[in-house]
Amino acid sequence: MKFLRNLLAAILGTLIAFGIAFMFFLIIATIAGSAEQPIIVKDNSILEIAFDQPLKDYGGKYKFTDLDYQFEEYNGVNNVLFAIKNAAEDHKIKGISIHSSFLTTGAATTKSIRDAILEFKESGKFVYAYGDMYMQKDYYLASVADSVFLNPTGTLDFRGLSSEVLFFKELQENSGIKMEVIRHGKYKSAVEPFLSNTMSPENRQQISELLLSVWDTYLEDIGESRSMTKQELNTYADNLATRTPELALENNFVDGLAYMDQYISSIKQQLGLSSDQDLDHINILDYAEYASKILKKKENDRIAIIYAQGEIGYGKGNDNYIGQDIMFKSLKKAREDERIKAIVLRINSPGGMAITSDIIWREIQVTKEIKPVIISMGDLAASGGYYMAVAGDKIFAEPSTITGSIGVFATIPNVSNLAENWGINAEQVNTNKNSTAYSVFEPASEDFKDYMKTGIEDFYQTFLKKVAQGRSMSISEVDAVAQGRVWTGEQALEKGLVDEIGGLDDAIQYAVSSTGISTYSIENYPVYETSIEELLRGLSGFGFAQTKEELLKEELGEEFYKVMQQLKAVGTKKGVQARLPFEITIH
């Protein structure tokens, strides 16, 4: 029996070794074959704007430390905006075709792409848009086009914005698993779903005002492009006046109903092509790679853009979360490079670990003593993301950026009721009075709650002081707009939390003007470091770890998967959190 067990163990070990060797070979083969054919842009081409994958602010530079191999991805918003800007001057690009459905970008990112297309139109080149199904965000982007087309049996959704928040108080009572909550800020409602079964008036107020602010931006831009007033657009939304393709055409939301072949024929006609001639088009992400590799110039004077994207965690950091290590490296490298004259810190984060936010805040302070640091906010720069932002010299935000959320909370899971129901008893042995700070199997004591509250209050006061220092406000002035309250970029400007409304390019231009340079090139950071070992363990965020996620989505469905992720995320948050006060999806 022992011989058989050893034999099976040896066979299993051999199979695992072969599996690892095969994966290693596959990775090496992939890297070796990554030298693709150069992208060619043909004369008389159309730039096709269609996104079949989520866009991050920054595609990223990646380095395998154990292979001395480095590569760059060109699928970031930064690459897309650069590509659209260059397409306006590229004689090979004759126009733009927007064909994007189910956009996953945030409202601020969508506006930045829309604004870039609007600027492209100043070149005199045409912009067309086509959709089988326009969701509201899809239509917001498409409405910038000279002509908008809809499939004759398609749909155009235009009804106003909404958001749904899930509450788990009864679930906790029924399951015996609850979250102990300590917070500061009457608007810090990330924890509200664990305390109540209904939405508080304060939370309803802030979500309502946030939605109205984003909706107002939609109405203003769509109205300008389609020659309609905000009042008209709101009436159409209330009456569902685009519920059929015919109504969408009748009410001036689209310029024509057409099938794809008819749409292509109209573009050919615009280009002066006959029906039997091929239409050459290039996808925006392919053109972004082409523009970045071929059209970008390297000047001696440079502006560094450092991207801080994702939740704020603790440690190394990668393309999915912000860690202090990678931010340290990026800021240090940028400030010590004499060619770099100014730094733009692009923040797209809902916040996260308070201690990491403070560590990065300090490093920004050190950096701006040497070079200007300009802040550009993306879709999110809330709580810990805003904490970092106030260290900069000047803050730019998009109108629909979600920011503010100056507040702090902590959540700790507790299973004492479940343990009692199942007959589980936990006993502690201590050397000192407070040796057992907390046990998930025991109800949280008042001493523990007081201890945690002291830490929460202390960090909230630190947060207020940092904001007051960075924004030249008094503590009481900051507290009046704090309490965990979330603001859009437009609202934040009114409250003095940001300096100007503008996108990444506006922040870059300000950085350039503040240094007095005339010509410059862009240097992007960070460089995300990984290794074959990390890749095999699925820790690097390059793809293996996605298999389980996709499987769970398929088995549970999108909505139940989101609920599971929210519950799991709360359980994994360590320490004091400076984070966006709710999970919000705008529909």
- pLDDT of 579 over the 90 cut: no
> In 10 A of CB 94, how many CB atoms?
19
- The catalytically annotated residue of 97, 376, 383, 540 is 383
Which of 261, 266, 272, 264 lies closest to 43 in space, CA to CA? 272
Whose tokens are 């209904």? That residue is: 198
Residue 396 burial (C-beta neighbours within 10 Å; 0-12, 13-18, 19+): buried
The CATH number fitting domain 298-427+440-579, selected from 2.60.40.10, 3.90.226.10, 1.10.287.90, 3.40.630.10: 3.90.226.10
- The pLDDT, as a whole number, for residue 277 is 92
Each residue's pLDDT tens digit, 324-340? 999 999 999 999 999 99
Averaged pLDDT, 208-235: 96
Query: Within 10 Å of residue 501's Cβ, how many Cβ atoms?
Result: 15
Say what the pLDDT of residue 467 is.
Answer: 97
Per-residue pLDDT averaged across 249-275, rounded? Answer: 96
Name the catalytic one among 56, 137, 178, 188: 188
Q: Is residue 411 very low, low, confident or very high in pLDDT (cuts 50, 70, 90)?
A: confident
* pLDDT score of 559: 45
Assess contact for 45 and 271: CB atoms under 8 A.
Answer: no
The CA distance from 452 to 184, in Å, is: 11
Is 188 a known active-site residue? yes
Q: Which pLDDT does position 147 carry in this prediction?
A: 97
What band does 545 get if pLDDT is binned at 50, 70 and 90?
very low
Q: What is the mean pLDDT of residues 413-424?
A: 87
Report the pLDDT value the prediction gives residue 544, as an integer from 0 to 100. Answer: 39
* CA-closest candidate to residue 283, choices 104, 117, 96: 96
Asked whether residue 82 carries a pLDDT value surpassing 80, the answer given is yes
Listed by start position, the domains of the chain span: 45-159+240-292, 298-427+440-579
Between 94-108, 374-388, 423-437, the lowest mean confidence (pLDDT) is in 423-437
| Pairwise CA distance, residues 236 & 452, whole Å | 50
* pLDDT band (50, 70, 90) for residue 480: very high
Confidence of residue 421 (pLDDT cuts 50, 70, 90): confident
pLDDT digits (tens, 9 = 90+) for 194-203: 888 999 888 8
- Mean pLDDT check: name the lowest of 4-18, 53-67, 393-407, 520-534: 4-18
For the stretch 435-468, pLDDT in tens is 888 888 888 888 888 888 898 999 999 999 999 9
Instruction: Please count the residues of the chain.
Output: 587
Q: Is 521 a catalytic residue?
A: no
> For the chain, how are helix, strand and coil distributed in percent, rounded to 5?
45, 20, 35
Q: Do domains 45-159+240-292 and 298-427+440-579 have the same CATH topology?
A: yes
What confidence category does residue 564 fall into, taking pLDDT thresholds of 50, 70 and 90?
Answer: low
**Per-residue confidence band for 581, with pLDDT thresholds at 50, 70 and 90:** low
One-letter amino acid identity for 247? L
Burial of 338 (0-12, 13-18, 19+ CB in 10 A): exposed
Which CATH code, of 3.30.110.70, 3.40.50.2000, 3.90.226.10, 3.40.50.720, is assigned to 45-159+240-292?
3.90.226.10
| Alpha helices for 227-337 (secondary structure H) | 230-238, 245-250, 260-271, 284-290, 324-336
Q: At 64, is the pLDDT very low, low, confident or very high (cuts 50, 70, 90)?
A: confident
CA 57, CA 78: separation in Å to the nearest integer?
6
